[in-house]
Amino acid sequence: MIKEFIVLTKFVLSFAVSLSALFAYIMAKGEIGTDMFIATFAVLLVAMGVSTLNQVQERKEDALMERTKHRPIASGKWSPLSGIVIASLLIIASFIVIYDLIGLIGVNLFLFSFIWYNIIYTPLKKKSALAVVPGAILGVIPPAIGWLTAGHSLLEPQFYALGLFYFVWQVPHFWLLVMLHYGDYKGAGYPTAMRLFGKMSLQRLTFVWLIMTIQTGYFMVSIFEPQSTIIISLLIITALLAFASSLQLLYKNFELQYARKVFIQINLAFLGTVILISIDQYLKFHLPS
């Protein structure tokens, strides 16, 4: 039961998403507070809720894909109604928690996440291979929650830089998954970027988006102005490693199964960038000048 609940709510992915709020809070405030953990928990709840509803919506397609056919609803172990009930409870709970924390602005952002993900993005990706681009907006919501909880405004240039980084990151992240699971997506009838552009063109486009992500990462670093020499050095190394990993996509002998390695390397590099800036911001407030 617990294992199926974890799969149904995409708990691991939802938890990873919720950490964006935690890091954004530290980057904004340079502190670790109780409200930071509450914000992270609220994001976890809404992420689990919309993910559960997504599995209800895509149960027929999930049943056709090898990697998703054993999900509780797709396999028939749990009914769609049970998924709707669980999703509703999680989403409502997230609204209550975030309202108590930051008021209506938090509820509006969570409501936007639900509408954009379940009502707009989920149907759209069944019709367009480029749905990932508008869908990438969703990646900005968790850090926005953390930023607001820290008492800062979304109009600050630091948040623009952070939000842009998260937005651009989503596209190559998803296209690498498309390369890795192309057969599954094709079998389930999804229009994919692989089919739209072709293998080599998609590799090159993903490379371009990865370079854009590295550039937005550089922009974010420059806006936050890290002070630690060690942190700056590690950020440079991280960017170089991300670039080196991205170059693999330009190899003529690149096989789709190699996308897993690039996917892991790239995501570790970009996550490392956020963590390093968070550490630097924390140190700014806790070390003598």
On whether the 1-152 domain is CATH 3.20.20.20, my answer is: no
* Distance from C-alpha of 251 to C-alpha of 5, rounded to nearest angstrom: 41
Chain segment 97-108, per-residue pLDDT in tens: 999 999 999 999
Chain segment 29-66, per-residue pLDDT in tens: 999 999 999 999 999 999 999 999 999 999 998 888 88
Q: Which residue has the tokens 């623009």?
A: 160
Mean pLDDT, rounded, for 75-91: 95
Chain segment 263-286, per-residue pLDDT in tens: 999 999 999 999 999 999 999 887
What are the respective helix, strand and coil percentages of the chain, to the nearest 5?
80, 0, 20
Domain map (residue ranges) of the chain:
1-152, 155-289
* C-alpha distance across the termini of the chain, in Å: 53
Residue 67 confidence class, pLDDT cut points 50, 70, 90 = confident
- Spatial neighbors of 259 by CB under 8 A, at least 6 apart, are 176, 177, 179, 180
Per residue, what are the HEC states of 214-266? HHHHHHHHHHHCCCCHHHHHHHHHHHHHHHHHHHHHHCCCCCHHHHHHHHHHH
